[in-house]
Amino acid sequence: MSMGRRAPLVLLALGTGACSYQNYQSTFGNAAIEARQFNTLFVIFLVVCAVMYLAVVLFLFASILRRRRAGEANVVEDGRHHLSSPLMRSALIGWSAVVVVGLIGLAIASFFADRSMAKAASGQKLSITITANQWWWDVQYNSADVSKMVRTANELHLPVGVPVRIFLRSNDVIHSFWVPSLAGKQDLIPGRDNDITIVPSKVGIYRGQCAEFCGAQHAHMALVVNVDSFPDFIKWWQHQLQPAQAPTTPEAVAGYNYVTSRQCGACHSIAGTPASGTVGPDLTHLASRRSIAAGTLPMGQGNLYGWVADPQSLKPGVHMPTIGLEPAQLHAVVAYLETLK
Partner 1 sequence: MTDVRAATGWTTSDSELERVREEDERLARERTKIARDGPGLKDAELAARLDRTWRRPPGIIGWLATVDHKEIGRRYIITALMFLALGGVLALIMRLQLAEPGNNLVGAQRYNELFTMHGSTMMFLFAVPVMEGVAVYIIPLMVGARSTTFPRLNAFSYYMYLFGGLMLWGAFVLNIAPDVGWFAYTPLSGPEFSPGKRSDVWAQMITFTEVSALAAAVVLVCTILKARAPGMTLARMPIFAWAMLVQAVMIIFAMPAIALASGMLISDRLVGTQFFNQYEHGDALLWQHLFWFFGHPEVYIIFLPATGFVSVITETFCRRPIFAHTIVVLALMSTGILAFGLWVHHMFATGLPRVGYSFYTAASMTVAIPTGLQIFCWLATMWEGRPRFEVPMLYVVGFIITFVIGGLSGVIIASVPLDLQVHDTFFIVAHFHYVLIGGAVFPLLGILTYWYPKITGRMMSDALGKIGFWMVFLGFQLAFFPMHFSGLLGMPRRVYTYPAGLGLELPNMLSTIGAFVVAAAVGIFVVNGVVSLYRGRLAPANPWGAPSLEWATPSPPPAYNFPHVPVVESRTPLWDTGPEMPVLTGLRVDEKEMLLTTVVAAVPDLREPIPEPSLWPFISSVAVGVFFISSIFSPWAVPFGAIPCTIALIAWFWPKEMKRTPEPVIS
Residues 208-237 that bind partner 1 (CB under 8 A): 209-219
Q: Examine residue 272 and tell whether it contacts partner 1 (CB under 8 A).
A: no
State whether the Cα torsion 277-283-285-290 is positive or negative.
positive
Q: Which is nearer to partner 1, 109 or 253 (CB)?
A: 109
| Contacting partner 1 within 125-154 (CB under 8 A) | 134
Q: Which residues pair with 140 in a beta bridge?
A: 129, 151
Q: Which is nearer to partner 1, 120 or 330 (CB)?
A: 120
Taking CB under 8 A as the binding criterion, the range among 150-158, 186-194, 274-282, 330-338 that sits at the site for partner 1 is 186-194
Return all residues near 70 (Cβ < 8 A) that are at least 6 apart: none
Residue 283 CA: distances (Å) to CA of 61, 171, 211, 242, 275: 63, 19, 25, 13, 9
Q: Examine residue 106 and tell whether it contacts partner 1 (CB under 8 A).
A: yes
Q: Examine residue 3 and tell whether it contacts partner 1 (CB under 8 A).
A: yes
Q: Examine residue 187 and tell whether it contacts partner 1 (CB under 8 A).
A: yes
Q: Which is nearer to partner 1, 7 or 144 (CB)?
A: 7
Q: Which is nearer to partner 1, 38 or 137 (CB)?
A: 38
Q: Which is nearer to partner 1, 212 or 228 (CB)?
A: 212
CB of 187 to partner 1, least distance (A): 5
Q: What are phi and psi of 309, to 5 degrees?
A: -70, -45
Give the other-Cβ count within 10 Å of 6's Cβ: 10
Taking CB under 8 A as the binding criterion, the range among 109-117, 236-244, 248-256, 325-333 that sits at the site for partner 1 is 109-117
Q: Which is nearer to partner 1, 7 or 146 (CB)?
A: 7
| Contacting partner 1 within 47-86 (CB under 8 A) | 49, 52-53, 56-57, 59-60, 62-64, 66-67, 70, 73-77, 81-85
Q: Which is nearer to partner 1, 219 or 266 (CB)?
A: 219
Calculated CA dihedral for residues 12, 14, 16, 19, nearest 10 degrees: -130
Q: Examine residue 113 and tell whether it contacts partner 1 (CB under 8 A).
A: yes
Taking CB under 8 A as the binding criterion, the range among 110-118, 122-130, 261-269, 324-332 that sits at the site for partner 1 is 110-118
Residue 52 CA: distances (Å) to CA of 3, 66, 307: 21, 21, 52
Strands 204-209 and 222-228, bridge-based pairing: antiparallel
Cβ burial 260-290 (10 Å sphere, 16+ → b, else e): eeeebbebbbbbebebebeebbbbbbbbebe
CB of 176 to partner 1, least distance (A): 6
Return all residues near 130 (Cβ < 8 A) that are at least 6 apart: 137, 138, 139, 140, 156, 166, 167, 168, 169, 177, 188
Q: How many residues in the shown chain lie near partner 1 by CB under 8 A?
A: 100
Q: Which is nearer to partner 1, 41 or 150 (CB)?
A: 41
| Contacting partner 1 within 309-338 (CB under 8 A) | 316-317
- Helix, strand or coil, per DSSP, at residue 69: coil
List, edge to edge, every strand of the sheet that includes 204-209: 155-159, 222-228, 204-209
| Contacting partner 1 within 239-258 (CB under 8 A) | none
Cβ pair 109, 41 in contact under 8 A: yes
